[in-house]
Amino acid sequence: MYDAHGRQIDYMRVSIIDRCNLRCVYCMPDTYQEFQPFEDLLSYDEFLTVLRAAIDLGITRFRITGGEPTVRAGLVDFMRRVTALEGLQDVALSTNGLRFKDLAPELYEAGLRRVNVSLDTLRADRFREITRWGDISDVVAAFDVARAVGYDPIKLNAVVMRGVNDDEVFDLVEFALEKQVKVRFIELMPLGTAYPWAAERWVPTPELIERLGTRYDLEPLENGAVRGYGPADYYRVNGGAGVIGFISPFKEHFCQACRRIRLSADGKIYPCLAWETAAVDLKPALRRGAGLDEIRLLLARALEIKPPAHMFEEYQADELKRRVMSRIGG
C-alpha cells in the first residue's frame, strides 16, 4: 500500500488502551483521569479484525502500545493470537517496564520477540520526578529479565530534556552497553503537558550527536542495518561496541520516509501523529459487524488523507496543549 505521496505504508502502531500506571511529565497531567470507558475501547476481537484487514493490504508489521499495554487484562492471550496471524511479518511491544518483568516469560511464550522499554533516567529520585509514580528498580529489572528470557532486540527509549535529564546521556549509553541493549534518544515533542516548557527543554538531535561524539566514535549506519521499522537513525558505537539511535520528530523530521499509521484504542486510524483531524473512525463499522472488505476500504481511505509532513510549528498553542499522547497511542 502506498499513500498519496508515494510512501509505502507497511507498519501500524496499535494502542490497546489509553490508561497508564505512570504520569510522565511530557505525556499526562499528574491528575489526569479523562480515560475512555472500557466499553468505548476496541475489543481484542475487533483489533484482530483490523490487523487481518491491514495484513491483506500489505501492512504486516505491528507495534503494540498504549497508554501502557501491560495494564490491559488479557494481553498475553491477545499476543498469542496476533503472532498466529497469517501473513504477519513482525510484532513488537512498547512498555514502561513496570509490569513487563512479570509478563516477559509468558509474552515470549506467546510469540513476542522484540520489546522497547522507556527509561529516561537512571536516578531513582529523578525517575519519580519525571514519571511521578513507580519504582525505577522494576524498570531496570525488565531489561535483565528480557535478556535472560531471550528477547532480541531490546531497545531503551529515552526522551531527552534540557535541564531535566540531558546530563545523563553518557550514563544511559553506558547502561545500554552494559545491558547489551540498543539505546534510542528521542527529541521532546511540543504536545499536551509538554507544550508550555518544551521549547526551552528541547535538545535537537545534532547537538546530542555532537555531545556524544566527544566521548564515542559514532559511525552512521545505513537504513536497514539495524532491525526495526521505526523512524530512528542509528550509529555504531566505537566500532561495534553498541548501537545508538536518534529519533528526531520535530525540526529534522523523518516525514518524507514515514511508513506508519496509528490505530488508537478507541478504533481511530491516525495517518499522522500531529494531525488529529485527519483520522478515520473504524469503530462504527466494527460495532455493526462490518467484514474485512469494508475495513480494508476504510484503511485505504486513511492512507489517502495521510499528510506529507507534520506541522507542529504551524499549529496553534491551544491545539498543541490539548493533545494527550496516551489517547492517540505512544
Averaged pLDDT for residues 169-174: 98
At 290-328, the pLDDT tens digits run 999 999 999 999 999 888 776 655 554 555 545 566 566
pTM for the model: 0.92
Locate cell 475487533: which residue?
46
The structural domains of the chain, with segments of one domain joined by +, span 11-328
Averaged pLDDT for residues 2-6: 87
pLDDT for res 280:
95
pLDDT for res 25:
86
What class has domain 11-328?
alpha beta
Average pLDDT for the chain: 89
**% of the chain beyond a pLDDT of 70:** 85
DSSP state for residue 321 in the 8-state scheme: H
Nearest to 241 by CA among 207, 262, 215: 215
Averaged pLDDT for residues 125-140: 95
At 218-256, the pLDDT tens digits run 999 986 556 556 778 999 999 998 999 999 876 556 677
Q: Which of 68-77, 169-178, 208-217, 244-253 has the lowest mean pLDDT?
A: 244-253
Choice between 106 and 251, residue whose per-residue pLDDT is larger: 106
pLDDT for res 219:
96
CA dihedral 68, 72, 78, 82 (to 10 degrees): -20
Residue 73 has pLDDT above 80, yes or no: yes
**% of the chain beyond a pLDDT of 90:** 69
- Helix ranges (DSSP H) in the chain: 44-56, 75-83, 100-109, 124-131, 136-149, 169-179, 195-201, 205-212, 283-287, 292-304, 317-321, 325-328
